[in-house]
Amino acid sequence: MPQPLAIESVNHVARLTRHLEESRAFYRDVLGFRELARPNFKFPGAWLYNYGLQIHLIVDDAAPLEKGEISTRADHLALHVADISAAERSLIEHGIPYKSNYVADRDVTQLFFHDPDGHHIELGCYPPVREADVEQRAASTPLPR
């Protein structure tokens, strides 16, 4: 069986947007990303960076039309915060609606909310993943055939 790809890290997450300026301000002013120089593509967008991650905003009519309900199970971008209470206060100060979810067996409070285009974002203060946990799970999970 071939070896898995030699991936080193996540480089960026792309988000389709109908609201470029609103999304740019949201990722910059609410989430703390900073603008990067962007190649001269033939379509509008913006690149932002912080926390070792780039967010690529791409203007496209395929972006969601409505935000809908805030879901704790939708596709989402999860970001680690050191203080979930401070993050919650910040969401309130910015006037951003959110849902809170508590995962008892991990003692993690999660905050879910939308960006201006309805993409879900999660904030949490997550425990570190230990290599022993990964190895234990891998040993107990049969490989697909």
Active site residues: 122
- The three-point CA angle 86-89-91 to 5° equals 110
What residues have CB less than 8 Å from 133, skipping those under 6 apart? none
Q: Report the DSSP beta bridge partners of residue 46.
A: 57
Q: Report the alpha-carbon distance of residue 18 to residue 41 in Å, rounded.
A: 17
Q: Are strands 99-103 and 108-114 parallel, antiparallel or unpaired?
A: antiparallel
- The three-point CA angle 93-50-108 to 5° equals 60
